[in-house]
């Protein structure tokens, strides 16, 4: 306890001095950087230290892994075919949902009967009173058709989609009647299309807006180990036939320009892009090799398309009511808990119980620090040589100190 407390104080007192010495010693800085790079996933020197005969066997394992990647690719192709098969079974139910939303079908009393959990605890008298209050409210309002603003409410309830919405998008999305998913035909390249069905409106003449995602399920020959399921290759939107003056993806701005010679000022009107959900239908055409920005935009676009396909379309009513959002929150909390339980390192800055004087146990192969080792008068080269020899810099025990030094 006393030695650990002294060590903690010693680190604080000498970290600045050590930083200066490190910056003056390029050999030590390079050695430390190499070790830290190893912490970020760079290959360790372990493979290089193996005998040649063992390396050959490891290569054989890697070849087996490549074959596994190709089998996995076929697995995802069959999954896609299975999705397509079951989509046909779901579709009649989704069609009926659409008919109810847009008032093309009025469900029967039997279809509308739903016993919520909280109703189980209500007495008959309370149920009757609640029923009368609901009927009174209905009499005071106009009789709405279908479920007004169904899809707009879904979008506003989901953070991923609401972040894309602008105020000028909402009047348009009130006319959205259905979203459908269409999978590629058997034998065709893997893809899916999102169809946004709109009723007649004053904004554009299209009745359906589409977005198609084309995928590939095969390992990259140059990097087969990176394969992790179907990869988005490109996506194609559609042309929106906007009514004159209604295009919310563009805005008009006025800019004053001064003539260099005469000094006169004139006002110029320019049309520039405008933030809008409907930019979703004008995506980047595909990957540009080496263009990280383009790839990032495409990846974000695919995440949204995949979420609409996997979550929004199948469970729309639950996002409308908010129940699916609660489920998503529960899933997120569960993941966070799993990560926290699995992490060896606690978030020291945010942990109210964290005591800098109490350190986690050292791994068995690393010796505890000694006053001799941390003595400021000691040569820094010897200090780091000792740490590197013990593989100490790869241990979480030393990372707070390392971070303090290199900062």
Binned at pLDDT 50, 70 and 90, residue 46 comes out as: confident
Please state, in angstroms and as integers, the Cα–Cα distance from residue 256 to each residue in 253, 262, 271, following that order: 10, 15, 14
- Rounded Cα distance between 398 and 369, Å, is 10
Architecture of domain 46-107+146-248+275-332: 2-Layer Sandwich (3.30)
- Rounded Cα distance between 355 and 350, Å, is 12
Instruction: Report residue 12 CA to chain centroid gap.
Output: 38
Residue 32 has pLDDT above 70, yes or no: no
Structure token digits, residue 16: 């600045």
Instruction: Report residue 133 CA to chain centroid gap.
Output: 43
Domains of the chain by residue range = 46-107+146-248+275-332
Residue 190 has pLDDT above 80, yes or no: yes
Q: Which of 182-186, 198-202, 260-264 has the highest mean pLDDT?
A: 198-202
Which residues lie closer than 8 Å to 150 by C-beta, 6 or more apart? 101, 316, 320
Structure token digits, residue 173: 């999305």
Which residues lie closer than 8 Å to 130 by C-beta, 6 or more apart? 122
Q: Which of 11-25, 273-287, 367-381 has the highest mean pLDDT?
A: 273-287
- Average pLDDT over every residue of 303-322: 94
Report yes or no: 400 and 7 within 8 Å, Cβ to Cβ. Answer: no
Report yes or no: 232 and 213 within 8 Å, Cβ to Cβ. Answer: yes
Report yes or no: 214 and 189 within 8 Å, Cβ to Cβ. Answer: yes
Residue 168 confidence (pLDDT)? 96
| Cα first-last separation, the chain | 28
Residue 131 has pLDDT above 80, yes or no: no
Residue pLDDT, tens place only, 328-371:
655 544 444 444 444 444 444 455 554 444 444 433 433 444 43
Residue 377 confidence (pLDDT)? 43
- Rounded Cα distance between 173 and 146, Å, is 15
Report yes or no: 198 and 306 within 8 Å, Cβ to Cβ. Answer: no
DSSP conformation letters of 137-187: HHHHS----S-TTHHHHHHHH-HHHHTT--GGGHHHHTTEEEEEEEEPPTT
Rg (CA), the chain: 31
Q: Which of 32-41, 73-82, 311-320, 331-340 has the highest mean pLDDT?
A: 311-320
The torsion region of residue 308 among left (phi > 0), alpha (psi -120 to 50) and beta comes to: alpha
Report yes or no: 232 and 215 within 8 Å, Cβ to Cβ. Answer: yes
Residue 117 has pLDDT above 60, yes or no: no
Backbone angles phi, psi at 197, to 5 degrees: -95, 125
* Overall pTM surpassing 0.85 (yes/no): no
Residue 45 confidence (pLDDT)? 72
Residue pLDDT, tens place only, 268-279:
888 899 999 999
- Rounded Cα distance between 88 and 306, Å, is 18
Residue 359 confidence (pLDDT)? 41
Q: Write down the residue that tokens 């079974």 correspond to.
A: 89
Q: Which residue has the higher pLDDT, 125 or 246?
A: 246
Report yes or no: 371 and 383 within 8 Å, Cβ to Cβ. Answer: no
Residue 243 confidence (pLDDT)? 96
**% of the chain residues with pLDDT over 90:** 35
């Amino acid at each position: 306890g006393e030695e650990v407390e002294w060590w903690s104080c010693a680190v604080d007192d000498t970290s600045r001095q050590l930083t200066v010495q490190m910056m003056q010693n390029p050999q030590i800085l390079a050695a430390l950087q190499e070790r830290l790079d190893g912490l970020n996933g760079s290959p360790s020197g372990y493979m290089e230290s193996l005998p040649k005969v063992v390396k050959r066997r490891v290569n054989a394992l890697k070849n087996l892994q490549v074959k596994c990647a190709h089998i996995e690719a076929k697995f995802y192709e069959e999954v896609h075919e299975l999705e397509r098969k079951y989509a046909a079974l779901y579709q009649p139910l989704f069609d009926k949902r659409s008919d109810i939303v847009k008032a093309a079908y009025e469900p029967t009393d039997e279809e509308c009967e739903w016993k919520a959990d909280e109703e189980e605890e209500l007495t008959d008298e309370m149920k009757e009173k609640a029923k009368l209050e609901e009927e009174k409210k209905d009499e005071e309002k106009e009789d709405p058709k279908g479920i007004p603003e169904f899809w707009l409410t879904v979008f506003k309830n989901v953070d991923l989609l609401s972040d894309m919405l602008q105020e000028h998008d909402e009047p348009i999305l009130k006319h959205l009647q259905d979203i459908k998913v269409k999978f590629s035909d058997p034998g065709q390249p893997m893809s899916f299309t999102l169809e946004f069905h709109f009723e007649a409106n004053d904004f554009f003449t299209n009745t359906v807006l589409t977005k198609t995602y084309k995928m590939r399920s095969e390992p990259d020959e140059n990097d087969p180990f990176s394969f992790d399921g179907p990869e988005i290759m490109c996506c194609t939107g559609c042309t929106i036939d906007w009514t004159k003056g209604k295009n919310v993806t563009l805005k008009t701005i006025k800019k004053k320009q001064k003539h260099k010679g005469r000094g006169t000022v004139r006002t110029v009107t320019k049309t520039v892009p405008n933030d809008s959900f409907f930019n979703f239908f004008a995506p980047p055409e595909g990957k540009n090799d080496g263009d990280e920005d383009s790839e990032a935009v495409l990846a974000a676009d695919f995440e949204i398309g995949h979420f609409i396909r996997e979550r929004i379309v199948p469970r729309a009513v639950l996002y409308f009511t908010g129940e699916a959002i609660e489920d998503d929150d529960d899933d997120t909390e569960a993941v966070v808990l799993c990560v926290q339980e699995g992490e060896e390192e606690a978030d020291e800055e945010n942990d109210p119980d964290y005591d800098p004087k109490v350190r986690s146990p050292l791994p068995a192969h690393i010796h505890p620090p000694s006053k001799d080792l941390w003595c400021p008068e000691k040569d820094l080269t010897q200090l780091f040589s000792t740490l590197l020899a013990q593989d100490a810099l790869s241990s979480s025990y030393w990372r707070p100190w390392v971070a303090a030094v290199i900062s």
